[in-house]
Structure 1
Amino acid sequence: MSTKQNDITYNSAKVWQMILFPLNNTATNTYMYLMFFVSYLAVGGLGLGVAMVGVIVTFSRLFDAITDPIIGYVIDKTKTKIGKFRPMIILGYTIMTAILAFMFLVLPKFSNYYVKFILFIVSYVIYIIGYTFQTACTKSGQTCITNNPKQRPVFTRCDAIYNLSFFAFMAFYTANYLAKKYQGFTTAALSEFFITAAIIAGIFTFLAIVALWKKDVPANWGISNDAKVSLKDYIPILKKNRPLQMLVVAASTDKLSLNSANNSAILVMLFGIVMGNYSLSGQISLITMIPSILIILYGTQIAMKKGSKKALVDFTWYSIILAIIYFAFYIFFDYRSVSFAAINFTT
């Protein structure tokens, strides 16, 4: 479907395609949420040291930064009968599912400490490669579905609502079901968690591929078949494109803060230790989901009218201000009194 605006013909998407394709990001976030709990597997299931696990996870983030441009280059060069992005999405999901099945279901059964240590690192590295293959298609695949600037905020709106709802329900699932059923995040709990995540991610991945199916053709890839792009062509863009550099910094720091806030260790310390009731994590997530969705609708409406940059900058400032207020509450109020059984001012 194409539309014409101001004498410019855009490759526009159908509504259902814009609704379904952002689920690719939710699929990768499903596995990312599972990996928030990988330290429990490494320490409790594999017997690795806490400090060692922290080092491994930290260096894996650095490796992730290296793989992004490399796999992006591979995707640029990919041209198959079933498209450019669909094979990468399928490959990424397959790699993650296979290696995480090994990590969560098989690796804990090994007895040799050093073998488990080495295989854990190798598995984590392979997971990052698979994750990058699939998640890299989220943004690049959007341009394949539509290059209409009026439709871009629709992706953002759907993506934000999906992920907000997903994280809220997963917080409830882990805190109010999984942790209670197994009396903590044991190896058995994490095995069930993986199976659940694999099914959810598989469904989301399938729906995203369906949305992309008729759009993943050379005419929508944005680059002429005769164009030759090498790795060195990326260097001037990264070095001289100041707006792109600022976007990378803004997006990466926002992503870092989001991952930090939703990390399982942070949530356990906040709700389990500070508040003394870890199940509050899931309950509060569900309660705050509705107002959060309303904020998303308002924010994406601003993005449609005033541009994505304006919305990103404004709402980042709002988030910083609210974080400061939230921190002040921790200083002046007793959070151990928070309870839904007996509603009080702090609650």
Structure 2
Amino acid sequence: MDSPNLQENKYHKAKQWEIAFFSLNNSATNLYLFAFGFLTYYATGIAGFATLLVGNLLGAARLFDGIIDPTIGIIMDKFNTRWGKFRPLMLFSNIGLVLSFILLFSTHYFSGVLQVAVFLIALVFHKIVYSVQQTVTKAAQPALTNDPSQRPLFSIYDTVFSSIGVFAMGQVIVSNFLAPRHGGEFNQAFFTEFLLGVMIISAVLTTLAIIGIRRKDRTEYFGLGEITVATKSLQDYWSVIKGNTPLITLALCGGLMKFIAQLLSDQAFLVILFGIVLGNYRLSGQLSLWQIIPNLLIVILFTRLATRKDLKASYTVSIVVAMLSTLTMLLILWTSGDTTQIFTNGGFIAILFGVAYVAMKVTATYPSSIVLTMSADISDFETSRSGRFVSGLIGTVFSLTDSIASSLAPIFIGFVVAGIGYKNAYPDASEPLTGNILNGVLILLGIPLVLYFLVFVLIRKYPLNREAMEKVQIAIAEKKREDLYE
């Protein structure tokens, strides 16, 4: 039987404002992810690249990102300074993101082979610094708190600041204010104003996140503290991955969900769905506004489920809701005679489609948010198993599968767009609705439906439920106590 003292000391907690502030690190990187969704319009409309070339370059850059991610994780695990492990990385990577965007969105000043080379170099540099700051969000979770009643709270703050603040409000601002302000076009003036705002806001959010993790960015919160087992060789790192069922299962789920989220938030998809198929691009911003309150309420319900039962349960429920919502949208689009009249005529079908879209958007992004917390459980699981603290490597294993999967999203969209007749540029909202365009949207919604089912099957095999994590934290506390008496 475990002693009362051991039960008492197995958890270390964070203050509520620390969890809230640190969650802004994810918002800081998600701002760049949101802005990155407009790169295809800059690259084809201003820089003059062909549609398939842009899709392939973006896909190749994300694939490179995935390949180098484990290296970033290994470096992060070995990295530590008098200012902490995570804070210096957050600061310098955010500065790097600013520099990468300045170069990336200036490639129209070059021409020929040099233009392609500069664009690719800027993409690669962007992916490296983006991965560093993004990985910190996952890697620092075990140090922030290991209390199962606190860890799920991260998703609430992340939903407010990222899903609502960045993606929902960002879409509202772009579709209802910035785009109309510049004549409904994604021109150079639009990008200048848009990107300046992204850079400034992201820098502010990063600063607040650094403040949030400051107290916990210390060796005593890294695994077993001073007695953490050193991870030196490639064989040591391989042993972390080999046979680690929770890591492999969740990494596969995370990669598939990242592909879905990337596809459904891509501006080309939103322009085609709302601007052409539904006949009203501004509707994308209006529905983003409508999803704010339901988004928050649903995530609060999922979080209560996670704190009362476990993270696996809330993840599974979100996948089921996502499947039903996507299926509803597909059936409405497939059976409607003229999809451009769905919201013009209003009525039950319009309400049903709007509810399904909001539910789909919420449940497509929630698993990506909760996986940040679940990766902390896996990091603790590894510490209890081997005595190692390798949250950086574990975080970048998720980034690896994310990057490989999401690298396929722009390539997939590029092929679908080219397949429906747009080989030289992405369609804008002024294009007329054709049968090919409608079929393209049905394909872009049908693929996520299939992938949701695969994720549902995989997550059922995930072993770290509440009882398992109780044993993990007791094992870690026991190792620390043994060291005190040696």
How far is the alpha carbon of 1:191 from its aligned partner? Answer: 2.0
**What does residue 65 of structure 1 align with?**
66
Give the distance between the partners of 2:293 and 2:317, measured in 1 at CA. 21
Give the distance between the partners of 1:232 and 1:89, measured in 2 at CA. 29
**What does residue 337 of structure 1 align with?**
341
**What does residue 320 of structure 2 align with?**
317
Q: What are the residue-to-residue correspondences of 1:89-238 with 2, within 5 Å? A: 89-104=90-105, 106-110=106-110, 112-166=111-165, 167-183=167-183, 184-225=185-226, 227-230=229-232, 231-238=234-241
Give the distance between the partners of 1:98 and 1:310, measured in 2 at CA. 41
Give the distance between the partners of 1:68 and 1:12, measured in 2 at CA. 29
Specify the SS of the correspondent of 1:92: helix
CA deviation vs aligned residue, 1:273-293 (integer Å, no higher than 9, x gap): 101111111011101221121
TM-score by length of 1: 0.94
How far is the alpha carbon of 1:67 from its aligned partner? Answer: 2.1
Contact 2:156–2:296 at 8 Å: present in 1 too? no
**What does residue 270 of structure 2 align with?**
267
CA deviation vs aligned residue, 1:254-283 (integer Å, no higher than 9, x gap): 122111111111000001110111111101
Give the distance between the partners of 2:349 and 2:6, measured in 1 at CA. 52
Contact 2:24–2:161 at 8 Å: present in 1 too? yes
How far is the alpha carbon of 1:157 from its aligned partner? Answer: 1.8
Off by >3 Å, runs of 4+ in structure 1: 223-227, 342-346
How far is the alpha carbon of 1:39 from its aligned partner? Answer: 0.8
Alignment-mate amino acid for residue 250 of structure 2: L
Give the distance between the partners of 1:5 and 1:224, measured in 2 at CA. 17
Give the distance between the partners of 1:27 and 1:57, measured in 2 at CA. 21
Give the distance between the partners of 2:178 and 2:112, measured in 1 at CA. 27
Contact 1:67–1:132 at 8 Å: present in 2 too? no
Give the distance between the partners of 1:137 and 1:49, measured in 2 at CA. 35
Specify the SS of the correspondent of 1:121: helix
Give the distance between the partners of 1:223 and 1:73, measured in 2 at CA. 18
How far is the alpha carbon of 1:193 from its aligned partner? Answer: 1.3
Structure label with greater radius of gyration: 2
CA deviation vs aligned residue, 1:208-245 (integer Å, no higher than 9, x gap): 00101122111112254564213332212323112211
**What does residue 82 of structure 1 align with?**
83
CA deviation vs aligned residue, 1:102-143 (integer Å, no higher than 9, x gap): 222x33223x22211100000000000000110001011121
TM-score by length of 2: 0.68
Identity of aligned residues (%): 32
Q: What residue ranges of structure 2 are gaps of 5+ in the alignment?
A: 351-486
How far is the alpha carbon of 1:9 from its aligned partner? Answer: 3.5
Specify the SS of the correspondent of 1:12: coil
Which moves more between the two structures, 153-162 or 33-42? 153-162
Q: What are the residue-to-residue correspondences of 1:263-302 with 2, within 5 Å? A: 263-302=266-305
Higher relative contact order (CA 8 A, sep 6+): 2
Q: What are the residue-to-residue correspondences of 1:25-64 with 2, within 5 Å? A: 25-64=26-65
Q: What residue ranges of structure 1 are gaps of 5+ in the alignment?
A: none
**What does residue 331 of structure 2 align with?**
328
Contact 1:144–1:215 at 8 Å: present in 2 too? yes
Aligned length: 341
Contact 1:28–1:134 at 8 Å: present in 2 too? yes
How far is the alpha carbon of 1:84 from its aligned partner? Answer: 0.2
Alignment-mate amino acid for residue 49 of structure 2: L
Contact 1:178–1:185 at 8 Å: present in 2 too? no
Residues 279 and 66 of structure 1: CA distance in aligned 2, closer, same or farther (over 3 Å): same
